[in-house]
A and B are shown apart, each in its own frame.
Chain A
Amino acid sequence: MKLELFKQLDETSWEIPASGKMRVPAIIYADRALIEAMDDKVYQQLSNVATLPGIVDYAYAMPDAHWGYGFPIGGVAAFDAEAGGVVSAGGVGFDISCGVRCLHTGLGADDIARAAQALADELYRRVPAGVGSTGQIRLGEAEMDAMLAGGAQWAVKRGYGSEQDLERVEERGRMRDADPAQVSERARQRQRDEMGTLGSGNHYLEVQHVDRIYDQARAAAFGLHEGDAVVSIHCGSRGLGHQIGTEFLRLMATSAGRHGIDLPDRELACAPIRSDTGRAYLGAMRSAINCALANRQIITHLTRQAFEAVFPGARLPLLYDVSHNTCKVETHSAGGSARSLFVHRKGATRAFGPGHPELPAALREAGQPVLIGGSMGTCSYILSGTAESEQRAFSSACHGAGRSMSRRQARRQWRGRQIVDDLRSQGIIVRSPSLRGVAEEAPSAYKDVTEVVDAADRAGLAHKVARVRPLVCVKG
């Protein structure tokens, strides 16, 4: 984008002053190179978000922002129900509560190296991955409702993991005020065979090793040391979330006029928080958050079984679990006074700073772990929430790298087999049911996550703690 479009506030903050129907200004956090390379559509979409009723302070975009539908991916916006604020299905996305969970393994990179093939095989055998893959769990109606209301807490009660896991999951593993009655029959049907599955596209399970520490004290608080092996799981609410997104996007797009909302673009689909449609969406969307949390909890259990088979006695406690497609009610001191706001994060990670009451005691001093996934074959990052992020963007940070190349371009440029072989020569084992999928997810089809993370760090959105590199990658 052209830099003249913006009022530069500091090295990493670029303001779009309020004009036309914008109720508030917008800010994109990025360095000069990232903003120059950013899609023009981010400017347009973020400006559109700023026109929505009840928006508070600013519409924000993270350094990894790119063209989405309605909201840009990497968009953050908070709405005040008291001021006629809205909730938007496009502001959450189709993959509701997609996120990243990181597990310690108690093992080192050298331990993994000794049995990497066997571990890759066990993980690939036990964790269903790819298009149409099905899990072992079939839920009846009553159990489905219990899962949708109970999230990871439900999963733990059913024997998937332990109570200790829950304090390392946002919302203690269970999103309150979910209303399973708002989840349609079709959404339930799409979930029928998909509990405990990874999905496809950019979703993955990786065994990684910590190859660099940036902040020794926080890394120690997170239990991370150079050479440690960890597991990262990236997936979401599967078919159930996709169907809820589909249904409410349509409902909100066609009913906005009835609610007196003048949409600059129909894809900004939203409804007043205090409307039947708004309440129904919140009830369904929170159920989908619970589905995602339960799903990652079940996959954690399967991962532990795979490790047990290869490294008997291995223990895999959680570092943390974060979601990056959500709308959550949070208290923020926007405009000077503490207010309860509906914060949308679409491809953005919550990043609570030190001392936040939501954090478990062991992490409270360091700040919330912020888990940023890279592409297959590159690196991922673990950051911590900062105090200043509260004022910067309602305590939010980036979520990943973002594609630099379309799927088709990637498929033309690479062969899946060649990618698998190249990665193996770099010491990374890839297991996937689809070589076509591997080609489309080639590491070079993604932007450099390091640039994004550095910009987020310099902008004060989150603070770099550690870098991890993949050893084994199970790709959907």
Chain B
Amino acid sequence: MATTPRWEHLEHGADIGVRGYGATLAQAFEQAALALSGIVTDLDSIDPAEAVDVECEAPEADLLLVDWLNEIVYQMATRNMLFSRFEVRLDGQRLLARLHGERADPAKHQPAVEIKGATFTELEVSQNDAGDWMAQCIVDV
């Protein structure tokens, strides 16, 4: 029985952690990305009207998670957008993704905090005995 995809935040004194679960690694990465957006604002407030395609590559799954989250941070910062839907496809060491979201609007989204970057702290990408995936790390806000 596969895990229902879901995400949560980890408590970390000054900062905050993201954790995503999924039946596949790609799904766990999508969920971790939702957790990342959830730090900034309420996901329901973001209209997934516009799409942005990104890709990244790393030799190990945990490094790929850091790169993936940092790619989203970069897109949020330079496009001034917020994202509420993520489609991830993995091809060996490459990650190809489509981010869906809209331009950030302070009045509408009440964005609480900007994310500076994903860290190696509490970084873990793992699979349990049932074959389900978990992807997590602390992000600096």
Residues of A within 8 A of B (CB): 39, 66-70, 73, 93-95, 130-134, 186, 189-190, 192-193, 199-201, 239, 242-243, 245-246, 249-250, 253-254, 266-267, 269, 402-403, 406-409, 411, 433-437, 439-440
Q: Contact: B13 with A436, CB < 8 Å?
A: no
Beta-carbon contacts under 8 Å, B90-124 to A: 104, 106-107, 110-114, 116-121, 123
List residues of B whose CB falls within 8 A of some A CB. Answer: 9, 11-16, 39-41, 63, 66-67, 70, 73-74, 77-78, 80, 104, 106-107, 110-114, 116-121, 123, 138, 140-141
Contact call B117/A94, Cβ cutoff below 8 A? yes
A132 engages B111 (CB within 8 Å) = yes
Contact between chains at A250 and B63 (CB < 8 Å): yes
Q: Which residue of B lies closest to A193 (CB)?
A: B80
The distance in angstroms between the C-alpha atoms of A269 and B12, with both chains bound, is 20
Task: Give A141 Cβ to nearest chain B Cβ, in Å.
Answer: 16
Collect the chain B residues with CB atoms within 8 Å of residue A435's CB. 110
Q: Are A437 and B118 in contact (CB under 8 A)?
A: no
**A433 vs B112: C-alpha distance in the bound complex, in angstroms?**
9
- In the complex, the answer to whether A246 meets B113 with C-beta atoms within 8 Å is no
| Docked-complex contact A407 and B113, CB < 8 angstroms | yes
The residue on B at minimum CB distance from A347 is: B14
Could you tell me if A67 and B117 are in contact, using CB atoms closer than 8 angstroms?
Answer: no
Interfacial chain A residues near B119, Cβ < 8 Å: 69, 94, 249, 267
Contacts of B12 in A (CB 8 A): 67, 406
A239-B77 CB under 8 A given contacts A69-B121, A245-B117: yes
A69 and B138 contacting across the interface, CB-CB below 8 Å:
yes
Known contacts A94-B116, A249-B120, A434-B111; A132 and B106 CB within 8 A of each other: yes
| Given A69-B119, A246-B70, A440 and B11 contact (CB-CB distance below 8 Å) | no
Q: Give every chain B residue within 8 A of A69 (Cβ-Cβ).
A: 15, 119-121, 138, 140
| Docked-complex contact A436 and B111, CB < 8 angstroms | yes
A201 contacts B13, C-beta separation under 8 Å: no
Q: Are B114 and A199 touching (Cβ within 8 A)?
A: yes
Which of chain A's residues have a CB closer than 8 A to the CB of B41? 436
A254 to B67, CA, bound (A): 13
Contact of B118 among A133, A190, A246 (CB under 8 A): A246
Chain A residues with CB under 8 A of B117? 94, 242-243, 245-246, 249
In Å, the complex CA distance between A93 and B66 comes to 16
- 19 additional A-B pairs beyond A201-B113, A250-B67, A407-B141, beta carbons within 8 Å, are A39-B13, A66-B13, A94-B117, A130-B106, A131-B104, A200-B111, A242-B73, A242-B117, A242-B140, A243-B74, A243-B117, A269-B120, A402-B14, A406-B12, A406-B13, A407-B113, A433-B107, A434-B111, A436-B110
